Amino acid sequence: MSLPRQHQAPGAAATGAVRGVSLLGSTGSIGESALDVLARHPQRYRVLALSGNTRVDALFEQCRRYRPAYAAMYDAASAARLAERVRATGLGIEVLSGPEGLAHIASLPQADIVLAGMVGAVGLLPTLAAVRAGKRVLFANKEPLVMSGHIFMREARASGAELLPIDSEHNAIFQCLPHDYRSGDAAAGVRKVVLTCSGGPFRNARPEELTDVTPAQACEHPRWRMGRKISVDSATLMNKGLELIEACRLFDLRPDQVEIVIHPQSVIHSMVEYADGSVLAQLSNPDMRTPIAHALAWPERIDAGVASLDLVEIGRLDFERPDDRRFPCLRLARAAAEAGGTAPAILNAANEAAVAAFLAGEIGFTAIPPVIEHCMATVAARADAELAAVLADDGRARDCARDYILRHAARTGGR
């Protein structure tokens, strides 16, 4: 199966067994939130493996606190520095490196649960390894599903892996679906889903005001504390575009069945509308520990350390439609979803390259959508979306984006 049926019996934790957890991306905001939840339930969960990219100090401190059996770093030089510090302090942790090391900790026999919290396409192969190994996979890393969601769903059906979304929006949809829903279950009577978003830091900005936006301003999200890449995606609303594609993959929906609505309070995380006109919504404070705890313990409920929601204090819930002039990335993402094949992989790769260039000061904020649009027009998408084609078109799109960025920066000085 892919999405698990929601009436299954409780897992090992309910019978007293401690479940091993591997965290892909433990040094990011998702990983830190997950570790906070895990630490509240030592009788249920054991931190088996931790991983990061280049933040050696952060991962070393996590190793000291949680004493995993394994640690992995994507960057080989960083892994070597971590291994030296682990040896010097006698922690007895096996340190691995590169995509192979990450894939290893994602498929350990002792790992019952794998949390995919890495940012970007680098999470594709390690997360796929966890799915092929039949794990319960908690998805926060949306890019692999955007790039090759059909492969993940097919491999999950073959291996018996459980794919549980922990993006707050997709987790909310999962909670609002029928208890026996299967991916693509037409009998469930789902008319559409509504993805909510805060609108980011520029919700009320005029398009002409965005020309001089700095990375610091783009990363100042009004509701969530996140890493720099996803913060920029939230500022352009590309994050919501990627989530549209992810929703289509996870729940087997057409793009026209996914609506995006700006909801500044970030209290309603998403909604499901049914054929009879009923709309079910999931509400909670904007805290990633809620969806993480839900997916960790599902179908049970455990304490996440999140305060109760006080609707009287909130006072009002507002909604508005996103402005395509201000947020052209939404239009591009919907076009990629409708095109299918490798188009979403091309979109994602171009976006990653453009955001990295913006954060490095090479291009301006408003140059991000043109980079993506140029790559989508230049790199011909293929209907064949098997892994080799996805990875090839990912590389072609990155090359195309870098070439365009270099020419654009030379012509405009980065603006």
- The predicted-structure confidence for 43-102, as pLDDT tens digits, reads as follows 999 999 999 999 999 999 999 999 999 999 999 999 999 999 999 999 999 999 999 999
Instruction: Give a yes or no: residue 149 inside a domain.
Output: yes
Note the pLDDT tens digit of each residue in 321-340.
998 888 999 999 999 999 99
Q: Which helix (H) or strand (E) holds 307?
A: none
Measured between alpha carbons, how far is 309 from 117 in angstroms, rounded to an integer? Answer: 26
Instruction: Give a yes or no: residue 19 inside a domain.
Output: yes
Note the pLDDT tens digit of each residue in 236-273.
999 999 999 999 999 999 999 999 999 999 999 999 99
Note the pLDDT tens digit of each residue in 20-31.
999 999 999 899
**Residue at a domain's end among 166, 182, 216:** 166
What tokens were used for 281? Answer: 């919504």
**Residue at a domain's end among 111, 137, 166:** 166
Measured between alpha carbons, how far is 388 from 378 in angstroms, rounded to an integer? Answer: 20
Closest by CA to 283, choosing from 293, 272, 296, 269, is: 269
Measured between alpha carbons, how far is 228 from 131 in angstroms, rounded to an integer? Answer: 27
Q: How many CB atoms lie within 10 A of CB 15?
A: 8
Q: Residue 13's pLDDT band (boundaries 50, 70, 90)?
A: very low
pLDDT given at position 8: 46
Instruction: Give a yes or no: residue 392 inside a domain.
Output: yes
Instruction: Give a yes or no: residue 313 inside a domain.
Output: no
Mean pLDDT over all residues of the chain? 91
Cβ(360)–Cβ(268) under 8 Å? no
Instruction: Give a yes or no: residue 395 inside a domain.
Output: yes
Instruction: Give a yes or no: residue 99 inside a domain.
Output: yes
Q: For the domain that residue 359 is a member of, what is the CATH number?
A: 1.10.1740.10
Q: How many CB atoms lie within 10 A of CB 157?
A: 13
Backbone angles phi, psi at 178, to 5 degrees: -60, 155
CA dihedral 130, 131, 136, 139 (to 10 degrees): 90
Q: How many domains does the chain have?
A: 2
Measured between alpha carbons, how far is 57 from 39 in angstroms, rounded to an integer? Answer: 20
Instruction: Give a yes or no: residue 311 inside a domain.
Output: no
Instruction: Give a yes or no: residue 287 inside a domain.
Output: no
Measured between alpha carbons, how far is 13 from 16 in angstroms, rounded to an integer? Answer: 5
Which residue segment(s) compose the domain that 345 sits in? 340-405
Strand partners, 19: 45
pTM above threshold 0.85: yes
**Residue at a domain's end among 116, 149, 166:** 166
| Residue with more model confidence, 412 or 107 | 107
Q: Residue 413's pLDDT band (boundaries 50, 70, 90)?
A: low
Q: For the domain that residue 45 is a member of, what is the CATH number?
A: 3.40.50.720
